[in-house]
Structure 1
Amino acid sequence: MKNLVFLFVICAFSFTGMAQNSAVGQNSSNKNPQFSKPKLVVGIVVDQMRYDYLLRFYNKYGEGGFKRMMNEGFNCKNNHFNYIPTKTAPGHASVFTGTTPKYHGIIGNDWYDKEIKADVYCAGDQNVVPVGTTSKAGKMSPHRMLATTFADENKLFTQMRGKSIGISIKDRGAILPAGHTANAAYWFYGKREGNFITSSFYLDELPKWVKQFNSSKTVKSYLKDWNTLYDIDSYTESGDDLNTFEEGFKGKETATFPYKLKKLSAHNGDFDILKETPFGNSIVADFAIAALKGEQLGKDDHTDVLTVSFSSTDYIGHNFGVNSKEIEDTYIRLDKDLERLFKALDAEVGATNYTVFLTADHAAVEVPSYLQSLKIPSGYVNAKDLKEALNSFMVSTYGTSDLIENISNNQIFLDRKKIKEMDLNLGVVQEAIVNEIIAYKHVDKAYTGTTMVTTEFSKGVEGLLQNGYNQKRSGDVLFVFSPATISYNKTGSTHGSGFNYDTHVPLLFFGSGIAHGETLQKTSITDIAPTISALLGIGLPNAATGNTLEFVLLND
């Protein structure tokens, strides 16, 4: 019996060893996963794109742009931002770092710096030199972003062999996505120049291909008439062309088609007028295609990263509003620019060699004055009136209004040194301001900074505020307006809140390594970078808090 047991054990060990050897053999014969990676990842951000634009204008789109992504790739239909404020700079930083302002530190497009007691711009950098211009518009870098992007992690993984290039009309839309280690970020400087520029953070001079693009007549060719691409009567997915909810251009009496851009440019910043037309997006697509060729992206075994932010959608939304004929025409034209870009990727990199994702940095609210005309609750806040009321309260309560240093981005910054000199308790002062402003019309919620760092919120507007709260950079009191209530002009749309109209944005993936499908499962903007990192088999961005969307990736 003992001999039989011994024989059984020997056989079991032998079988296990054979199985292990077989598994090792299988693994050793597999292709190195590094070689199955896409040669190029293209991250596209459409500035101020609401998710419903995919559906509203669907029948106007061709087969090669948005529809190609939806039909061949994966559509996350319930994708949201998970923090406040929903602004451009925090949006771009969050998409590519996989975390929120709480960690990456970009708490707004600009903000009040508590240390130097002055406003700072998210990408402003006085320590660099403009390249391609003499304007201070070139004094930019990502130095205020505290975290790495997946592009940075790809550079580290490939020993800096993989390239990273960022492109946008806006400096922040090019700089923040490309990260700290980018080969270059290029943004558009209009005025009388109409060129793409960069800074000495990246390069000492523009590459030959950029100089050639700038010296071509590409940008100038877009100073032409902007009319609807199709018959305006067919634009049934948007409101009347003539209405009272749009700003328009200086030099034209009404915000109605057509727009003679060459004539209007003299009154609207020369080449800057192109930013507020769909041709700004076309210029970005032209430049991105030039970058593909000029930088030889996706031509070797080291994955490259190209980030492209289409900013004109935001300028047009701010000017004309989300229900305008101008917005509808802009997205119809953007769809064609995407198709051009994808065809260039097919030709230059190969249809099976690249991966694309498309999302937005925020969405936007319907123009509140338009909503009011439909009897939908909405409104406007006069920032000056709010500040005056708060100053009066501070004087009557503490004998001075000097305790408040700054009010911006729906945050109140207190003079902590003066509070200490007056022997006041910071927490008590914060709470007194909260109790005061919560009574103001249109202020829906208010919280102290102390609450943000001492209480953990997992949902609701409180959770969104907390994800956007950076302890060293954010204010002492945070407040939120009621739904569809903004501090802005009576014309045009804006954004910044934690409501669905600002947080719900597209998230489309397609290309190499991407599954085909769709989901209504809620996803977050911070899930993008971890998902791309998993696709590439690289380290996560160092402060990433999002999740990998496994269902988006093909299982080998």
Structure 2
Amino acid sequence: MISIRRRLLGLAIAAAALSACSTTPPPPAAAQRPKLLVMVVIDGLPMRQVTGYRDQLAPDGFARFLDRGRWFANAHYGHGHTVTAAGHAVMLSGAYPQRTGIISNEWRDPATGDPVYNTGDAAYQYLDNPTAPLSGTSPRNLKVETLGDVLRARSPQSKVIGISGKDRGAILPAGHKGTAYMYMTETGKFTSSTYYMPALPQWVTAFNAAKPADAFFQKTWAPLLPEAAYARSVPDGQAWQVASGNGNRLPAVMGDKMDAPGARFYGNLLASPFGDELTLAFARAAVTNEKLGQRGVQDLLSVSLSSHDYINHAFGPESRLSHDHTLHLDRHLQAFFQFLDKTVGAGNYVLALTADHGFTDTPEWAASQGRDAGRFSSAPALAAVNGALSARFGVDKLARGFSAAGLLLNDKLAAERGLDFAAVQAAARDELLKLPGVSAVFTREQLLGSDKSTLYLEAMRKSFDPTRAAQLQIVLKPHWIFSYRPGGSTHGSPYEYDTHVPLLFWGPGYVGQGEMQARAEVADLAPTLAAVAGLPAPAQAQGRDLALKP
């Protein structure tokens, strides 16, 4: 029987033997530029997991960067509300959410209170797949240009492609002039939207027709290493580890107790190493069929791998499941990099690897280690604030609800009732500060001001777009999380565990080698890649060129 791996690789290229380690090509001529820029994003990967498992890595996955590339040991996000969409918008624009307008994954319209999804656009639909309300279909909400937009403005024949298990992970890095392909959890297929094209290319149709996701049905996710190798991680089956989906113990069977692949199976696949394998198979198909980096012009490919985020949300970054997934991911990256070596040429492309945010340890685990940790639930918090405001001002529902990292107040209702909105805002702030787990609450006036000495204010200011954000922005105490369920963990704070992410480069002759200890920010990624590519930085970039000289 043909193996799953060969079936997937056969959709992209003829199977080729993988070498144990890539060879370093001779440096390019001084004037030569890379033919292909490749950005790999690991959704929800804190830097501490890369360095913490370094002794268990394969020779040519993450180790390609750590041993033979240029990497930044102290790279962070500069904005405070560290979530998926916000991070993906920063990477290739070099701009913080205050400029990109992508303040969160979703938020409420300040004027109406209606929900807004970061890449939602009702004017466009998915191709060959159902389009639910608020689906991510276009970059309309992204207010800035990306590096791919700069590239295509200079070279219209260049291709810019974004691929991800999540719509936002594909659309935002691809920018306004690129093409995005995202995984559909309802069907197990990859698709695009009518924003980009009227119909899918033949190679995408062929990829989907082979039903590659179905190849993982009844496949077992088993630990990669012997049990003793995971002694540094929290064992499976903890009460706070979410047991829905694929369960919370390894080994885990994909589609266990199901008769056939279906929407639940396709969704659960993302929360396993097989989600990464499937996404990278599609990326291989894109490189092969679009001939990226092989046509005499410069191209850009962004691949955002979503599985680690789902796993950390369910089990926490401290878990053995997350530890093991990191090692599986490392092996998948090794195979993908070696594919690029053979297809594009090891001296013809540059790799950059980062993450959209880090991750907080599960509060229950943190508490067991003696930390002050907990869960902040929005529903009782909203009721408490509205109750206090009603008692003081005699008006119900002066707070519309939580929006991104803040509380949205109904300024229109306050005006209609003749209330002093500054007094309403101050009262709401005071009530929030009384709630368990709340560390700081910043007002709109503070966020629009120039104070840079108040702790975490500048970080929250970088997350604040006054046309989209709530008037009050909240910072929880360390190890506390905004939570909508009793288990698992999340991210979204200005603390180091959420801001500290990988920023790794590889490209012999282009980016040099060695560990860099100086602080860098992910906003520096776009200006740095622009310099490597010989392009101007995106117009709204706030980061700097890290000057990666060989």
Task: Normalising by structure 2, report the TM-score.
Answer: 0.90
Which residue is 2:330 aligned to?
335
User: Against the structure 1 CA distance between its residues 265 and 247, is the aligned structure 2 distance closer, same or farther, given a 3 Å change threshold?
Assistant: farther
The CA distance in 2 between the partners of 1:538 and 1:277, in whole Å, is 37
Which residue is 1:225 aligned to?
220
Q: Deviations over 1:88-111 (max 9, x none)?
A: 000100111101110000011000
Are the counterparts in 2 of residues 80 and 505 from structure 1 also a CA contact under 8 Å?
yes
Are the counterparts in 2 of residues 56 and 237 from structure 1 also a CA contact under 8 Å?
no
2:255 to 253, 258, 262: 262
Q: Deviations over 1:223-252 (max 9, x none)?
A: 211111222333223112232231123585
The CA distance in 1 between the partners of 2:339 and 2:348, in whole Å, is 13
Which residue is 2:524 aligned to?
527
2:204 to 203, 210, 229: 210
1:169 to 157, 165, 182: 165
Percent identity reads 31
Q: CA deviation at 1:409?
A: 2.3
Amino acid at match of 2:499: T
Which residue is 1:296 aligned to?
291
User: How many pairs does the alignment contain?
Assistant: 517
The CA distance in 2 between the partners of 1:142 and 1:459, in whole Å, is 34
Amino acid at match of 1:93: A
The CA distance in 1 between the partners of 2:377 and 2:130, in whole Å, is 37
Are the counterparts in 2 of residues 239 and 324 from structure 1 also a CA contact under 8 Å?
yes
Q: CA deviation at 1:398?
A: 0.9
User: Against the structure 1 CA distance between its residues 445 and 273, is the aligned structure 2 distance closer, same or farther, given a 3 Å change threshold?
Assistant: same
Task: Normalising by structure 1, report the TM-score.
Answer: 0.89
**Are residues 1:113 and 2:120 paired?**
no
1:32-181 equivalent positions in 2, closer than 5 A: 36-136=32-132, 140-158=137-155, 160-181=156-177
Which residue is 1:196 aligned to?
190
SS at match of 2:39: strand
The CA distance in 2 between the partners of 1:458 and 1:287, in whole Å, is 47
The CA distance in 2 between the partners of 1:280 and 1:311, in whole Å, is 8
The CA distance in 1 between the partners of 2:153 and 2:332, in whole Å, is 32
Are the counterparts in 1 of residues 106 and 116 from structure 2 also a CA contact under 8 Å?
yes
Q: CA deviation at 1:208?
A: 1.3
Amino acid at match of 2:256: K
SS at match of 2:436: coil
User: Against the structure 1 CA distance between its residues 500 and 288, is the aligned structure 2 distance closer, same or farther, given a 3 Å change threshold?
Assistant: same
Are the counterparts in 2 of residues 250 and 268 from structure 1 also a CA contact under 8 Å?
no
1:419-498 equivalent positions in 2, closer than 5 A: 419-457=414-452, 460-488=455-483, 489-498=485-494
Q: Which moved more, 1:217-226 or 1:312-321?
A: 217-226
SS at match of 1:269: helix
Q: Deviations over 1:123-147 (max 9, x none)?
A: 1111012213134386611110000
User: Against the structure 1 CA distance between its residues 264 and 311, is the aligned structure 2 distance closer, same or farther, given a 3 Å change threshold?
Assistant: farther
The CA distance in 1 between the partners of 2:266 and 2:427, in whole Å, is 49
Q: CA deviation at 1:440?
A: 2.2
SS at match of 2:429: helix
Which residue is 1:12 aligned to?
none
Q: CA deviation at 1:336?
A: 1.0
Q: Deviations over 1:451-504 (max 9, x none)?
A: 111234267311100010001111111111110011223321200000111001
Amino acid at match of 1:373: S
Are the counterparts in 2 of residues 51 and 506 from structure 1 also a CA contact under 8 Å?
yes
Which residue is 1:368 aligned to?
363
1:380 to 361, 375, 382: 375
Q: CA deviation at 1:382?
A: 2.6
1:397-436 equivalent positions in 2, closer than 5 A: 397-436=392-431
Are the counterparts in 2 of residues 88 and 362 from structure 1 also a CA contact under 8 Å?
yes
User: Against the structure 1 CA distance between its residues 244 and 537, is the aligned structure 2 distance closer, same or farther, given a 3 Å change threshold?
Assistant: same
Unaligned runs of 5+ in 1: 1-30
The CA distance in 2 between the partners of 1:32 and 1:423, in whole Å, is 70
User: Against the structure 1 CA distance between its residues 437 and 136, is the aligned structure 2 distance closer, same or farther, given a 3 Å change threshold?
Assistant: closer
Are the counterparts in 2 of residues 369 and 490 from structure 1 also a CA contact under 8 Å?
no
User: Against the structure 1 CA distance between its residues 245 and 418, is the aligned structure 2 distance closer, same or farther, given a 3 Å change threshold?
Assistant: closer
Q: CA deviation at 1:222?
A: 1.6
Are the counterparts in 2 of residues 265 and 272 from structure 1 also a CA contact under 8 Å?
no
SS at match of 2:372: coil
Are the counterparts in 2 of residues 529 and 541 from structure 1 also a CA contact under 8 Å?
yes
Higher helix fraction: Structure 1 or Structure 2?
1
The CA distance in 2 between the partners of 1:314 and 1:176, in whole Å, is 17
The CA distance in 2 between the partners of 1:516 and 1:228, in whole Å, is 32
Are the counterparts in 2 of residues 100 and 468 from structure 1 also a CA contact under 8 Å?
yes
The CA distance in 1 between the partners of 2:130 and 2:395, in whole Å, is 44
Q: Deviations over 1:367-422 (max 9, x none)?
A: 11011112222112232221111011111111113322222223121222222223
The CA distance in 2 between the partners of 1:240 and 1:406, in whole Å, is 37
Q: CA deviation at 1:263?
A: 2.2
1:490-509 equivalent positions in 2, closer than 5 A: 490-509=486-505
Amino acid at match of 1:537: G
Which residue is 1:514 aligned to?
511
User: Against the structure 1 CA distance between its residues 243 and 472, is the aligned structure 2 distance closer, same or farther, given a 3 Å change threshold?
Assistant: same
Amino acid at match of 2:325: T
SS at match of 2:356: coil
Larger Rg: 1
